[in-house]
Each structure stands twice: as C-alpha cells, then as structure tokens.
Amino acid sequence: MKKWFFSCILFAAFFMGCAQVSVPVIPLPNSVETKSGNFIFNSCTQLHYNSADVDLKNAVMPLVEKLHRAAGINLSGKSKCKMNSLINIDLDNSITNDEGYALSVEPKKISLKAKTATGIFYGVQTILQLLPEAVEKDSIQKSVKWQVPCVLIKDEPRFGYRGIMLDVARHYESPEFIKKLIDLLAMQKMNRLHLHLTDSQGWRFESKKYPKLTQIGAYRKGTPLNATYDYNSRPADTLYGGYYTQEQLKDLVKYAASRFITIVPEIEMPAHSMSALASYPELACLDSNGNAYPYPQKIQNEYCTKDATFDFLDDILSEVMDVFPSKYIHVAGDEASKETWKTCKYDQQRMKDEGLKTVEELQSYFIKRIEKFVNSKGRNIIGWDEILQGGLAPNATVMSWTGIEGGIKAAQEHHNVIMTPGDYCYFDHYQSDAPGEPVAFCCMLTLPKVYSYDPVPAELKDDEKKYIQGAQGNLWTEYIPNPAKVEYMIFPRAVALAEVDWTKPELKNYDAFTQRLTNYLKRLNTYHVNYSKHLFEIKLTTSLNDNKQVTASLGGVNKDHVIRYTLDGTIPTERSPVYSKPIIIGKNATLIAAVLHEGIILDQVKKSFQLHKAVGKSITLETLPDKQYNKGGNSAWVNGCLGNDEQFSDDEWLGWEAKAFNGTIDFGSATSTSSLQTRFFHKPSSWVWVAKKVTVQVSDDGTNFKTVVEKDVTIPSKEGASTVELKWEPVTAKYMRIIAEPLGKIPAGNTGAGDDAWLFVDEMVVH
C-alpha cells in the first residue's frame, strides 16, 4: 500500500497538519490551534443564537437535538442556575467564504461564527465530532464526559461542489434510505447529492403529463443486466422496479435542504433512454427504409431528434425543475452510439436543416437546444464529458468521468468543471482484492487511492484552475441491488473524498487520516452503516510447506498494527491469536484475519479451506487457463482453497474461453475415491456459464483411463458460484482425470448470444 509521509520537523507548513491528529475531525480543518482545557456541557450550559432565523435554527438543531437525546442536556437561552457555560452562535460578514466558519472553544465559552447558516452548520458538525461519539446515540448514555477540547479553528472548504452520485435507475432505493445517506453526507460536510433518476433500466421520476413513464418505464422483467420491457417475452418473470412520486421527491429536497445539501437531478439524454422509449416508442428513430423498428422486440437506446422529442423533454424538464430547485440540472449526454441517427430520415433531415456534417455535431445540437431551454428557466445544465463532442454548449458545466482530459479541455475553454474520473471517483469499482469481496465493476479503487486524488490537474494554468468546482464520487448500481451494498461501496471511500474536497492538499496525510477515520467509524457503527473494512490491504497468500501442508501467510499491514485471526469463521476480537508466522491449515477451516483498534475492525479478509485427497498432488492440464484468469497458478484447482462466491477474478478461479477443463491428478500411489464436488461460476451477463457435462475417469498407469461417472449439469437460476457433486462406488486408482465440457454457443436471448461461452472452474474436492 502506498503511503504519504511528511516531515513535521523539516517543514513548518506541515506541522499544523501533523499536530492535528489529536483533533478527531473529518474532513480535516484547515487551521487548528489546540489549547489546554475542555469545555464541559451540562444542564447549566446556555445557547445563544437568533432562533427566529429559520436557516440558522436548522444549522444549530443537530447540536441541540443530539445532546438532548444522548446526554439529556437541554440547551436553551435561559437557565435556572447561574450561568455555568455559554455557547454563542452568530452570523459574521467578516468571514468571507459562504461555507467557512470560525470556532473558538474555551473552558467556559464556545464561540461559533460564520457568514451564513451553512457555515454555522459545518461548525456545528465540527463540535459534534469533537464530542464523544456517544452523542450520535438515540438514548441517554451514562458515564460519558460531555466535553470538547479547547481549540481555535478557522476553516473553509477548498471547493464549493462536494458530492456523491447515487444511481437509483438500475436499482430503486427507498426515500427512507436516501434520507439516511443525506444524514451521513452532511456529517462529513458534503453539499451535493446527485440522483441518477433515469436510465435504460428504469425511469424513477413521476411525470404528471406522461404517466406511461412510470406505468411502464419504472418496471422491468429479467435480471438487472438482462432487463426487458417486452413483458410478453418473459411472462414468468416478476416486475422489478419502482419510482418516486413528485411529493416524495419534494420531501427529499426539503429534508436535504435542512441539512444544507442540494439534490441534483439527472434525466438521461439522448442515450440510455430505453425506459422512456419503451413507454413512448413514437420518440424513437426509424430504420433505413423509413419504418419503425419492431416494437417491443427492439427498443432503441437513443431519442430521435424530431421536434416531438424536444417537446417531450421540455415538458419533463419543466416538471423536474418544479420539483428540484437545484441550480444544476444534469442532462447526461454520455455514451451515445448515434448509429440510428445515421440512417433515420428525421435525424438526417435535422442535420440538413441545421447545416450539421456529423452525428457528433447533431449531439452537440441536441445538448445546446436542451441547454437553451434550461437556461430560459434560470438554471444551468451539467453533462458528462461527452458533451464536449461536436462543440460544448455555452453555459454547460462538464462532469469529467472518462479521465481528466475532458475536465482539462473544458477548464481551458473557461467552463466550470466537476472532476469525477473513474480511476479515483467511481465507487462501483472494487476496493480490495481480498478474498470474499462482493462482486463489483471492473477495476480497483482503494481507500488510499481516493485520498491521494487532487481534483486540480497539474496541466492547468493558474487562471484556469478556478474553473474546477470540486469532485464527486459516483456509485453506479448495476451490481448493487440493496442498501447494505450501497453503504459498503460508498463508505468509507466517500469519507476520504470529503477530505479531498474540503482540506488543503498540503495538509493531507493518509496515516493521520486513518487515525481520525478509526474514531469516525464508531459514529458510522452507531448509524449501522455497512461500511467496507479495508483501511489497509491485508494480503493473504497460500502455499504448501515442505511437508505438503497447506499454509496461509498474512501481510500488508504496517508495524503500528497487528493482525489477529480465527480459523472457525468467527470475527476476530482483541483476544484472538496474533499472527506471527504462516498458519498451518490442518483441517477444513474458514480463516478470518483482521486489524482491530478499540474493537473496531479496520481491515479484514476471509478465506475458506477444504482439505481433500487431491490437495498438493501433482497435476497436469491438457489446456492451460487463459492468462488473464490464472492468478493462482495452474494447480489452483487442487490447493484446498475455495474461490469467491460472487466474482470470478480472484486467485482461486481458473477460466477458459470455449475450451474444456481437462485435468489429471497423480495421487502418487493407489488411492480410494468415491466423490467429487466442484464449483463452476455462472454469470450469463458476462458470457460465463456453468459446464455442460462433467466426467470423472481413473487409471492405474496414467495412460489407460476408464469412466466411473459422468453428469449433465443443470443451468442454475441465479448468478454466482454453483456447486456440482458427483458420486460413485469406491474405486482405487493412482490417477484421476476430470473433464468439464463448456456450454458451447451462448443461447439466444442472452448477452453474447451465438458467441462461445466462458468456463470458470474452482476447487476440485476429491474424497
């Protein structure tokens, strides 16, 4: 794991950052002076502020309500006892940043000042983090010292846009869960929640004028990645989806505003629009012969550029803007193939009328026309960086996701930019290569990599850097069907991004951040957040020792922490054994290793072991696995370790494209066997299918084999690891050959239909 170390002795500029470890605040304040003593909250503490100011009251309420619930302390402007301590909260125009604040804590007085209620709210969040984490509890907590250290903090964010995007189009999430997410983002001083409301897999925004969008477009049949709006083709499937009424969305907007968060709505266009076109197919393109494509067998991905489409989108955006007061309206503009535009008579006529030479210019026309309408309502559009193609709309803000190049280009053209490159900001990516990680998309984005990000590209000149408005973390939910997994993918990476967005880069230090994050995780525990436990990168490797015993080795943690482990599948505690040397796996076991601090798990890995007669024996493979899917080596199928149940990219799964698994085991001597249990991965959405048939053969000389059992494999109903078991009358032989035949051509109606299926093989457990 890469770490960043700064010398507090040599660099005075970094001294403040290193000294601030004792102030457990996230994101790290930009100026902190610690003093001696503490301010103690009690029943005599008085709170003075202008309660007639509604926004100011919203800003102060978290402190009032949480102290009342957890400590039983009622902060008010009056007290029956003589004044013991005082909290003064005032608006002060001398503070220049709208979100900045100044906090002074003395033994008998807290002074919090800010230019706006927003700044006060962020100052209140800092006070709450200075208090014991028990302040987040919903019931009275006894034996807690309700005090904060004496400090002087002057703070303001580096960027004005600090956001998280949640894709609710692929998987609908309840308003109650979104409110929980808003609360969590507010705690870390983020100020935007970008809701991806529409995509090809679902339309979540209620339109009063176009009711079919939610009658049809909000529900689909099939798996998340193999969805259809052709309901007749899959009558056995149940409808899947949901949508938000306008009243529900208005309530969410109000709830977020009370926590000083703006909800930014996104309505996809011109592509990712199958849900809308399934509802209103008359908005689709025509084929090269001027005929409509067969509906509903073929639903297009992009709107046609006919006038009716723009009338429809103007109406939808008008309704959206009536619900969402956000300055920004996100119109997407990404991943448009534009293929149907090349032949549709309406699109070709549009290009002719507007003097456009390419479909890229037609996309630019599309976005500019939408922007003109949105601007007429006093709002501005955001689009993904593909809106740069063909020429950027005049007032558009670019959200740069394909890399940093789009952001650089937009800033150089003096357009506002929100940086969200996939390498640093896509939270649907894996966050660890540890065994047992849930399935995710594509690549690796660890917590320290998120923290290392600087949203301002070095390529920009000083006068261009001001156009970088901030950074946003994106969670696309193709593989994320429920709230627990949403939380797992977002946290704590969103906490790291909050500090990226808020804190001056010269003050950042990952080791110091993890110390503060350790305390912050206790607050997430209070809110029952299912966060990922990968602050470090515990490395778990397996091998055979000289005695042919399976061993597990652990590493990847710095010297300041120890790894504790169990072998019975229970979560390690402070009483569990400390890892010091390779662990001998003498029987079937589930190894869980963890780094702990005060009972909080900071990192954790899990691996299952299943010992059997083939473990450690010599093997041969007739055809070697694909190099990309052979991380554990050719003998991974007899090493006693089971692969991940949810994804096939770990060290234990071996993969072949359109080729059979054909492996021979040399037991070394005549060995009695009677069963084989193995697993194949099944994920049709990724062209991965279980085997068609499994055959087991034995031999005494390694040349002449006879079949003892063969079995056709049933295609499972669910994706993931699928177990296949074969049994036979006991037979004694020195060699065993196992053959697993691939499915062959992928059946019609599935992703990759007509192409060759992949075969993935896990441990071959022989008894």
**Residue 579 Cα distances to 303, 539, 575, 600, 601, angstroms:** 59, 12, 12, 18, 16
The Cα–Cα gap between 652 and 674 comes to 24
Strands, E assignment, 409-514: 417-419, 429-430, 441-444, 468-475
Residue with the two structure tokens 């870390």: 188
The Cα–Cα gap between 762 and 191 comes to 45
Reading the block at residue 520, the tokens are 């912050």
Q: Annotated catalytic, 272?
A: yes
Q: Which of 272, 330, 429, 682 is catalytic?
A: 272
Q: Which of 247, 311, 335, 700 is catalytic?
A: 335
Q: Which of 155, 199, 334, 650 is catalytic?
A: 199
**Which residues are within 8 A (CB) of 159 and not within 5 positions of it... i.e. 6 or more apart?**
455, 468, 469, 470, 471, 501, 502
The Cα–Cα gap between 524 and 529 comes to 5
**Which residues are within 8 A (CB) of 242 and not within 5 positions of it... i.e. 6 or more apart?**
172, 204, 218, 219
**Which residues are within 8 A (CB) of 29 and not within 5 positions of it... i.e. 6 or more apart?**
20, 23, 126, 153, 154, 155, 503
Distance of CA 451 to the CA centre of its chain: 15
Reading the block at residue 721, the tokens are 């690891």
Please say whether the beta carbons of 457 and 400 come within 8 A: no
Distance of CA 663 to the CA centre of its chain: 38
Q: Annotated catalytic, 199?
A: yes
The Cα–Cα gap between 390 and 288 comes to 24
* Phi, psi dihedral angles at 182 (to 5 degrees): -60, -45
The Cα–Cα gap between 63 and 27 comes to 18
**Type and span of the H or E element at 182:** helix 175-187
Q: Annotated catalytic, 437?
A: no
Please say whether the beta carbons of 673 and 613 come within 8 A: yes
Residues in the chain: 767
Burial class (CB in 10 A: 0-12, 13-18, 19+), 143: exposed
Please say whether the beta carbons of 452 and 445 come within 8 A: no
Q: What is the 3-class SS of 105-135, one letter each residue?
A: EECCEEEEEECCHHHHHHHHHHHHHHCCHHH
Please say whether the beta carbons of 24 and 519 come within 8 A: yes
Beta bridge partners of 765: 677
Catalytically active residues are 199, 272, 335
